[in-house]
A and B are shown apart, each in its own frame.
Chain A
Amino acid sequence: MAAINLKDIVKRYPDGFLAVKGVSLDIRDGEFVILVGPSGCGKSTLLRMIVGLEDISDGELRIGDAVVNDKAPRDRHLAMVFQNYALYPHLTVFENIAFPLRLQRGQFSEDEITAKVERAAKTLELQDHLQRKPANLSGGQRQRVAMGRAIVRDANAFLFDEPLSNLDAKLRGQMRTEIARMQRRLGTTTVYVTHDQTEAMTLGDRVAVLSKGELQQVASPRGLYEQPVNLFVAGFIGSPPMNFMPGEIEGDVLRLPFVDVPIDARLRERIGDRKIVIVGIRPEHFSDAGLLEDSKRSEGVSFDTEVDVTEWLGADLYAYIPFETSAEVAGTLAELDRDLDGEGMRTQLVVALDDESRIRDGDTATLWFDPARMLVFDPETQDNLMFDPEAAKSIDEQNEADRRASLERAHAREKAAAGSR
């Protein structure tokens, strides 16, 4: 187990393309860090540089206390799970898992290898399949064999490269919790690459959001959700994604496409003398005004609007409301949409309502939101003007405390289980 330190890591391809533009990241011992971003953001390249399959063009990579820039993959003592599992098809499941042990010639006796492989197989419930070949396994079983190969030796860290993207939705959910449980129990430093923001939010102690080879923000999942530093992070984290719309400042009001919001002292200070801003509101921060108590209703602003389409999903009701964006911010928003792998579809407001709401397609509905939860972005720099470093810090500290506590609980459980055996 070891900490991994990245300092100004750069990946420059021979044709001059910069895939990773100076990323610095400290991964603490035992921490579960997610690298997330849309396709082509350099997250996989970064992971492959950590494991040693890609050369590092510039910068310094430390694992534990040693600089490992020029070390071969085998000298870094990391274990990696590949997106397509990369199992050895000519070997049985047992031999696949034993492969890393057998390569360390003379270090383990045959009995030790058998014991280690069987323990790993038990952890992953693969005992019944040890003598089968990978070709005869299901997708989930292959995935578990790949994980078995990673955990069988005492690696410094686990690296995962989109390990769940080849599984179907149901299995993905199961394996996700399995990975989380395994990491808690083993307490091994883990770096996990994904483009799926759900995986990022649920698995990570900390999440590093990348875009176009640059690190946007590193924070706890809650920190990213509540205190995104810029437009990109705000748009990437959350499902359905945050609504962005133009906001024009006219005297004391912030004019949105469907409602005017009064500008209070805090908002005024943050906006400064900007004439136009981009306003972001999460779908779940809207409510059906008809379902609110009057006292709460008066705390926010309400507006009437025409609902185009609704989607009922059991616990949630999504309503879609098209709107015209203004020309000044249309370019910025279209570019953001492209960066987020969007399709450049019509601009519309997505609203997540309570399932009790009676709003249906074509209704004129009264919606409500609290301006205090609204985020305001500079259209040029795309920075979040409402970013509060103090709040962000306290969220991350709380998260770190939670992590330590759950790690200790896991270890205590482990000890108790070992003692009772």
Chain B
Amino acid sequence: MELIQLIIGGIASGCVYGLVALGFVLIYKATEGVNFAQGDMMMLGAFVALGLVNSEYWALPFIPGVILAAAIMGGVGYGVDRFVVRQIFGQPQFALVILTIAMGFVFRFAAGAIWGFTPLVLETPFAGRSLQFAGIIIGFEDLVTIIVTAFLTLGLWVFFQYTRIGLAAQAASQNQMAAYIVGVPVRRINSTIWALSGVVSTIAGVLYASKGAIDPNIGLLGIKAFAAAVIGGFGSLPGALLGGILIGVVEPVAARYLPSGFSQMSPYIIMLAVLVTRPNGLFAQIYAKKV
């Protein structure tokens, strides 16, 4: 019973890791670059939502406020690619790494300057409520997290599988040159993917904030999400989500049954174990080009 309780809570927090990992993978697949500011984009998204929703700021109703926050962060993502990342196109990979790390710091201190560094609580309509059956207590925020993640994943799948832009984004990530020559505006698609990644991380941020207080340093969760993406096989969307859920579940279980310290180490131990045994991750797409 206790284990089931831990697992359900773990899945819910794993969903947040998974969504941030999804943001990493979206950008990696489209542009072959890693956005190390992903965690900070999640943090910024959570704060933008807080700024719009909380009663001491704009006091918008919850759902429209979150949608507006997601739209704003989509714009931020698009802008970052359009005006910053595109300028260093053709530079070594390392330039993008440093650039996004620096951008993460900028986000962090911008959020600190606006909302302060003391923890704040996002006002949600489902705070403090819970369901109870068969001796298991499920917090509303956990339930909402799992349901929202499921729908978001379904939505992304439909987007990539059935829409024109989604198919073009898949094509551009699989073979950029071929995408150019069939007429896909690759650079605009890349910016769209950055926007999408901003939206996904905002939703992750709101879900994270629904569980407790947030401060500008929660962006460091991005490192854990990065480990989740690596476990799933960087480049696989379902892999990123499942990697996140795996970490989310292992953490509380390790905290309960293993000596202290293991819980914090567990994501990285799993990552190392996966890298040693299956270097391409658990769900890698493997394809060798025929010549």
**A and B pair up:** no
Residues of B within 8 A of A (CB): none
A contact residues vs B (CB 8 Å cutoff) = none
